[in-house]
Amino acid sequence: MAEHDPHILSYSHLREFPREKEALHSLKKIASLVKPLMRARGWKVNELAEFYPDQANLLGLNQNKTLKILLRLRYPGDKTQFMPLEQVVDTMLHELAHIVHGPHDEKFHALWNKLREEYEALIRKGYTGERFLSEGHRLGGSSRRLPMHEARRLARAAAEQRKRSGGSGQRLGGAAPRPGEDIRRVIVDAVERRNRALKGCGNTNHSEREIRNISDQATQNGFKTKAEEDAANETAIAQALWELVQEDEKQKFGSSYVEPSAQNPAGDMFPDGDKSQDQTSLTKGESSKSSSSSGPPPVPAATRPNQRPTASAENEPLTWTCQICTLVNKADFLCCAACENERSTEVSVELSKKDGKRPNTREVVDLTGSSPVRKRTKEEKKTATGGSNRPSNSAASSTWTCSFCGRKMDSQWWTCATCARLKDSS
């Protein structure tokens, strides 16, 4: 039995290069590994091609979302040596994320991370790709179509056996740290690998014409192969493993978890308590984006706030852009959420200046547990007995200035809201 609905229609490899059969095999293997992720979202790519660009750090390209994805399989400077498969798979996931999002913004990184987590979860369940399934998953030469309930049983049994034997898939980018290995070095290496993938993506630093020229050149030098139909039984087992991964995700994130789909490629990875908050912030972001592109629309009376009106720029949250990976981060993040690059002092000072120009609409919460009425009564008693005889000192000490970023803070706070530095004296 064969699957008549492939998600990658054709392959193109560089036939004149050494080990050309291995290159075609690698393309098919990569396509097979990511197929469950593509199937869940309804993605189809017309062509998956090998390319060998002159730019040494160029790892992948996405031409017109689903028209063609190009991957570097070989090391620059040595056409005979292939790059690690896990690294090329990560590039493939990166280019798949470009089907939905163009720029490397927060939404792009969220989708890329989701694809990586799903891929790693499939590997931990024992998935090695359709047509590349291990012998324990193959059904020999049987032509009988496998019922879905039997595929689920086989997949679950294989996953349990793998769990008992201690087998697990590696995370993308390398193995777990060895005993005695410097964990900081491991983190830095992981950040550098992610940065290489970001810098190696040609979609951000090449125009549409340049991408088309590179793609056409790769196609001219390549040999095109039509995708073969996949065995339906192997597809059923792969789908069953995917369902096991989704069951784990539902247990992890609760009833609010939403499986990825064509309408919602990133799914929903937030616990019950955070779901509404995330949807609210996303709605605000989309609203501000549409407002900036088409001018400020009239605000319906039903949605106007009761408080005094303020400018839209004043309501927008402060953000800063990472100089390494270009991710837009929230103002209270001291390092980039994607690459963990530390925020510079200049950026902290600039955020402090911007925050100082905004109207102070924050409400001060009394953490002493005393009600406002009781507090006023005690102050009146203190004033009547002459206990408060230094009003000037009280007024002078009502604020303090951060020695690191220069922001002024109320005296009741011990740390700076911008850079989190502890105040020098009490």
Task: Find all residues with CB under 8 Å of 191, minimum gap 6, and list them.
Answer: 339, 340, 341
Written as six digits, the tokens of 418 are 């911008």
Q: Give the H/E segment covering residue 71.
A: strand 68-71
Picking from 43, 90, 123, 299, the residue whose alpha carbon sits closest to that of residue 198 is 90
d(CA 335, CA 418): 12
- How is residue 330 annotated by DSSP? E
Picking from 343, 145, 122, 334, the residue whose alpha carbon sits closest to that of residue 245 is 122
Residue 130 falls in the annotated catalytic set: no
User: Residue holding tokens 């324990």?
Assistant: 136
d(CA 401, CA 417): 11
d(CA 138, CA 238): 11
Per-position b or e across 154-185, b if 16+ CB within 10 A of its CB: bbbebbeebeeeeeebebbbeeeeeeeeeeee
Catalytic residue among 95, 130, 234, 249: 95
Which of the residues are catalytic?
Answer: 95
